[in-house]
Structure 1
Amino acid sequence: MRKYREEIEKYIDEHTNEMVEDIKRLCAINSERSEYVEGAPFGDGPRKALVLALDMADKYGFDITNYDNYAGAIDLNKKAKGLDILAHLDVVPAGEGWSVTNPFEPKVEDGKIYGRGTSDDKGPAVAALYALRAVKELGIPVKKNARLVLGTDEECGSACIKYYYTKEKQAPMTFSPDGEFPVVNIEKGQLQGEFLAAVEDAGDKRLVSIDAGTKVNVVPPKAKAVIEGFSVDEVEKEAKKVTKETGIKFAYDLEPVFEITAMGANAHASTPQMGNNAITGLLELLSRLKFSPSNKIETLKKLYKLMPHGDTSGEALGIAVKDEKSGELTLAFSMLDLKDNRLHGFFDCRIPVSGDGDKILETVKKKFKGIDVELLNDTVKLPHEVDANSPFIKTLLSIYEDYTGLKGECIAMGGGTYVHDIENGVAFGAVFPGTDTKMHGADEFVVIDELVAAAKIFAQSIVELCE
């Protein structure tokens, strides 16, 4: 039996209901990033979530610091830096397709909490807070400080944590409960590509506009196009074939314009194979319709050939690569806007540790230039890796094994977390192996028993890493 384990488990079990209620309170706030307002750099929702979380910690007797509503910190004590835990309170857009509850009306059902942010990342953030509470209220002696840092812009570039680190230094060890168990010691590199093209239109059968996608790191579940000169029968004949081949469904609105809506399934851009991309499904249909010849249609067809439906590994672009450590490259065509003869879009590419980011960037630029589309990006985020044999990681894995009875091992993921640029930072939970929490999708949830287990693991980790 690990030292203090019995006390930690008893404490978390006794405070589970309280923890669930705190999660529900936080998840009732729509903290999607919005326009800047004074005192709220990422909009009022993220600010409200941060203020509430810090108020909770203050009520529980912790010293708190608010870094200009970019981020907040909750300290176990006033001793030297030992461990930072980085979590975030902002969320991706709610999206559509929710069936269990409304996105910001958290609901407990069948041992799960449903709602946007329950898994990513408000639930794990509160679990980390309760881990700190356990150590504090049980009076477990530690020699160093553990600090919970709460950001408000992780989903849109992590400007919050960049600001935080202009004010504070990194701790000797850092983990983020914004990934998976056991320990994520490798995060793939990333190219979030933005592209632009001027196109020309002609003829009676025209593609007027496309509006698809909401965030670069989300596989879009819906994509819309407005066309002219077609009958519903013409479109539906081809649409039925596409639906049969891809699973993408289509709906039509004839007034005041002929609008086609493609409906797929969203997913995180780091795991595009888990979704069904509505943009590429829509382009598959449009490429089959007999539009009047134009530069616009030809450019769109050529672009689609580079990122066709179902190609989530970059084969058509000529950038596919994989390795044993971190798996294969992933590619998600995530946003597309066509309006007034201006084509503008984004894709998200996650690169394994063996991938040459600069070579991949140059390959994409060359392929896009060949179809008269300009790639606006000129940088690639490098992969992140922490030595799997370090005492820090070995401690985390040992605790995970003891508390779960499952094998502790290092894993790689495509998703980028706060620790991507932290020298000794890893993702540690809070999702358990085999659980799909529908993160970034409709009916996102967290399993209460798993979050309770995570809180216990976090508390034990604080004790042993700061002892």
Structure 2
Amino acid sequence: MYRKEIEGFIDSHRQEMIEDICKLCRINSEKMPYTEGKPYGEGAFDALHAALAMMEEYGFSITNYDNYVGTADLNDKERQLDILAHLDVVPAGEGWTVTEPFEPVEKDGKLYGRGTADDKGPAVAALYAMRAIKELNIPVKKNVRLILGTDEECGSSDIEVYYKREQEAPMTFSPDAAFPVINIEKGRIPGGFTASFAASEALPKIVSIDAGIKVNVVPGKAKAVVAGLDMDVLTAAADEAEKKTGVSFTFGETKGGMQITAEGKGAHASTPDEGVNALTGLLLYLTSLPLADSPQLTAIRSLATLFPHGDTRGKAVGIAMEDELSGPLTLALDMLTADDTHLEGAFDCRACLCATEENSLDVIRARMAEEGLTLNADQMTPPHHVDGNSHFVKTLLKAYEEYTGLKGSCQSTGGGTYVHHLKNGVAFGASMPGTDNKMHGADEFAVIDELLTSAKIFAQVIADLCC
């Protein structure tokens, strides 16, 4: 019902929708330092106010939650559905080739620019879905609220502020992932750890290790400095380690010894199998060298034992598990610094539905303690699961199938979205299966036809759930 009208409205507003997306994407809304009245800095503030003005212009009742979150209500009836999107973006980064990050351009059916896919484009698609319902006068008996946050990329403190003042709607979806429906988000086990030990002057030795940029990124590079070993020993060990790991090693003289750079392939920590972990490859290499025994080397060997290269399932720490719905637990050692007397690091663990603190977090803590390492974590973030057979999820899948002709199904992800802590919240769109939007990377883009289809799907969902 209403498909012909919805398709006609969205198609006729194609260019206007693109222009609204570009208006928001020209604003650099990455998180910046707090200033009075601007909790996440100038850019997030400007993006929020631009979006609020846009929503008000289209006739929606808006609310500004102290510049953390902005909302638009379809009507003043009982709330039924929330659509939860965000206006902040990750930093622009380097390597853009099609356009500058904040100068969105349309090319070959794609809209390039930071935020076009994550998540300003999908946010505007949701807004146009609400416009379609409103301007077509499709009768609805309950309210839909579009919620736009400004801190999703850096911890979602904005949404914490919002939900301290508002109750969640009976149903919520976030267009901040991919179709069809993601109804399972794995849990997280925080993995910071430390160890201290007595210094040793015995040679040969490891002078330092430095690896990792963020705990949720499998490191593509890792570095160490060693002293007291000849070059032929280092290169021979490197050849053997590369055969075992796929990690390559290069060398250069530096203060205090020889610097070793291990290079693998970076990946998101929720999908560690897609990368080649340079840090675990480096640990394998270092522990193969003829180094003098020392408390530091004992600690490094312990790490290599607990996090062997290629073990992305937590087998060595005793927490390998999986279930039919959410798949396997994943684990990646992502950060490490070490010197003569101390090491500090972090791993990223995405826990499947069957994981509990007792069978995962407590087990890791005990295993690390056995090896002389202290895990600095008190609790895990539990997995999130919404019943795939619920009326809500089935309605989403039905609309997706109707407008795409593709088979809908429920999916699990190791990533996390705004809805992780909502009782009846799922991720729904806005990219189609098989599309890599280069989110968080250079030349991020959204396929324009996919955004248009998303707007149609969202409008149909509103009609189906609220009429």
| TM-score, with length taken from structure 2 | 0.89
Alignment of 1:2-401 (within 5 A): 3-94=1-92, 100=98, 103-203=101-201, 204-229=203-228, 234-250=233-249, 254=253, 259-338=259-338, 341-401=341-401
Q: How many angstroms apart in 2 are the aligned matches of 1:106 and 1:236?
A: 47
Distance 1:220 1:39, change over 3 A: farther
- Give the unaligned 5+ runs of structure 1: none
Q: How many angstroms apart in 1 are the aligned matches of 2:395 and 2:130?
A: 18
Q: How many angstroms apart in 2 are the aligned matches of 1:93 and 1:239?
A: 35
1:97-154 Cα distance to aligned partner (Å, 9 max, x none) = 6555555554544433344433332332222122222223333332222111122222
Larger radius of gyration: 2
Distance 1:255 1:80, change over 3 A: same
Q: How many angstroms apart in 2 are the aligned matches of 1:63 and 1:51?
A: 14
Q: How many angstroms apart in 1 are the aligned matches of 2:113 and 2:278?
A: 23
The more displaced of 120-129 and 54-63 is: 54-63
Query: Residues 12 and 455 of structure 1 are in contact (CA less than 8 Å); yes or no, is this contact kept in structure 2?
Result: yes
Q: Which amino acid aligns with 1:33?
A: K
Distance 1:437 1:310, change over 3 A: farther
Q: How many angstroms apart in 2 are the aligned matches of 1:97 and 1:237?
A: 35
Q: Which amino acid aligns with 2:73?
A: D
- Residue 359 (structure 1) shift: 1.7
RMSD, aligned α-carbons:
2.8
Q: Which amino acid aligns with 1:14?
A: S
Distance 1:31 1:210, change over 3 A: farther
Query: Residues 270 and 330 of structure 1 are in contact (CA less than 8 Å); yes or no, is this contact kept in structure 2?
Result: yes
Q: How many angstroms apart in 2 are the aligned matches of 1:307 and 1:31?
A: 37
- Residue 271 (structure 1) shift: 1.7
- Residue 235 (structure 1) shift: 4.1
- Residue 361 (structure 1) shift: 0.6
The more displaced of 77-86 and 50-59 is: 50-59
- Residue 228 (structure 1) shift: 4.2
1:156-176 Cα distance to aligned partner (Å, 9 max, x none) = 332211111011111111111
Distance 1:345 1:18, change over 3 A: farther
SS at match of 1:7: helix
Query: Residues 358 and 380 of structure 1 are in contact (CA less than 8 Å); yes or no, is this contact kept in structure 2?
Result: no
- Give the unaligned 5+ runs of structure 2: none
Query: Residues 267 and 439 of structure 1 are in contact (CA less than 8 Å); yes or no, is this contact kept in structure 2?
Result: no
Q: Which amino acid aligns with 1:13?
A: D
Query: Residues 123 and 446 of structure 1 are in contact (CA less than 8 Å); yes or no, is this contact kept in structure 2?
Result: yes
Q: Which amino acid aligns with 2:221?
A: K
The more displaced of 357-366 and 229-238 is: 229-238
- Residue 379 (structure 1) shift: 0.7
- Residue 245 (structure 1) shift: 4.2
The more displaced of 361-370 and 235-244 is: 235-244
Q: How many angstroms apart in 2 are the aligned matches of 1:288 and 1:442?
A: 37
Query: Residues 266 and 440 of structure 1 are in contact (CA less than 8 Å); yes or no, is this contact kept in structure 2?
Result: no
1:419-467 Cα distance to aligned partner (Å, 9 max, x none) = 1221111111123222333434454433222222111111111222121
Distance 1:219 1:109, change over 3 A: farther
Distance 1:57 1:268, change over 3 A: farther
Q: How many angstroms apart in 2 are the aligned matches of 1:28 and 1:290?
A: 55
SS at match of 2:399: helix
The count of residues paired between Structure 1 and Structure 2 equals 465
- Residue 390 (structure 1) shift: 1.9
The more displaced of 58-67 and 301-310 is: 58-67
Query: Residues 267 and 440 of structure 1 are in contact (CA less than 8 Å); yes or no, is this contact kept in structure 2?
Result: no
Query: Residues 238 and 288 of structure 1 are in contact (CA less than 8 Å); yes or no, is this contact kept in structure 2?
Result: yes
- Residue 357 (structure 1) shift: 3.4
Q: How many angstroms apart in 1 are the aligned matches of 2:440 and 2:242?
A: 24
- Residue 192 (structure 1) shift: 2.2
Distance 1:342 1:129, change over 3 A: farther
- Residue 322 (structure 1) shift: 0.9
SS at match of 2:446: strand
